[in-house]
Amino acid sequence: MFTVHGTKKFLDRVADRVMPPQDLQPPTAVLGAWYVTVLFWAPQVALFVNEPTRLPLFVPLAPGGSVITRMTQSAALVFTELGLPDTLVSHEVAEMDSHQVTKTASRSVLGTMTDFTYLAEAHRAPKTSTDLVELSLRLAQTPCGPLYHSHISPDREIIAYLADHSSRNRRPGSA
């Protein structure tokens, strides 16, 4: 399970029940929480950003009821393109099979989403179809302020984050 923190623009368009923060269960997915907003392109697009790694994912918004399911499919494609191990991709996608939706809680992640929104506008071709997986991969190479003291860009951060998580789980006596 993972948590989706939606902006008001997103929550107004998605039929999922919004949970109060105190009712949230801890995520079981390694990558934890994702944030999402809506980009008013034609057609509309949902921008998801992973909280710990700042990895961006662009997914068609419509139909809104299945956007989170399609996000996990898009995540699997992006994870594979980034060279993450198949076993890790399979495990993470399986954990992302269930989700809980709530309001946003981190202004830092919202700032990253705003940056990605501006950059996406510059990289997409208006009035033509944009390859959203390609756009996700391209922006994953963007340096992000919150990552300056670690691995600088989301594509590097996710690899390091997952390697660190993997090594912690292999140590004797770790949970």
The two three-digit tokens of residue 158, written as one number = 């996710």
Q: What is the pLDDT of residue 109?
A: 95
Considering the domain boundaries, does residue 105 fall inside one?
yes
The two three-digit tokens of residue 154, written as one number = 């989301």
Q: What is the pLDDT of residue 15?
A: 67
* Cα gap 146→150, rounded to integer Å: 8
pLDDT single digits (tens) 145-167: 877 677 789 999 999 988 887 77
Task: Characterize the bridge pairing of strands 34-39 and 2-6.
Answer: parallel
Alpha carbon 5 to its chain centroid, in Å, reads 10
What is the span of the domain harbouring residue 44? 2-109+131-168
User: Which residue from 168, 151, 57, 50 is spatially nearest to 106, judged by alpha carbons?
Assistant: 50
Task: State mean pLDDT over 94-106.
Answer: 92
Q: What is the pLDDT of residue 172?
A: 54
Domain total of the chain: 1
Asked whether residue 175 carries a pLDDT value surpassing 50, the answer given is: no
Considering the domain boundaries, does residue 174 fall inside one?
no
Asked whether residue 64 carries a pLDDT value surpassing 50, the answer given is: yes
Considering the domain boundaries, does residue 162 fall inside one?
yes
pLDDT single digits (tens) 104-150: 999 999 999 999 999 999 888 776 778 999 999 999 999 988 776 77
Among all chains, which residue has been given the structure tokens 């934890």?
A: 32
Task: State mean pLDDT over 23-52.
Answer: 92
Question: Model-level pTM?
Answer: 0.90
Considering the domain boundaries, does residue 115 fall inside one?
no
Considering the domain boundaries, does residue 56 fall inside one?
yes
* Kind plus residue range of the DSSP H or E element containing 116: helix 107-123
Considering the domain boundaries, does residue 28 fall inside one?
yes
Considering the domain boundaries, does residue 87 fall inside one?
yes
Asked whether residue 174 carries a pLDDT value surpassing 50, the answer given is: no
Question: Looking at this protein, which amino acid is placed at residue 165?
Answer: H
Question: Looking at this protein, which amino acid is placed at residue 145?
Answer: G
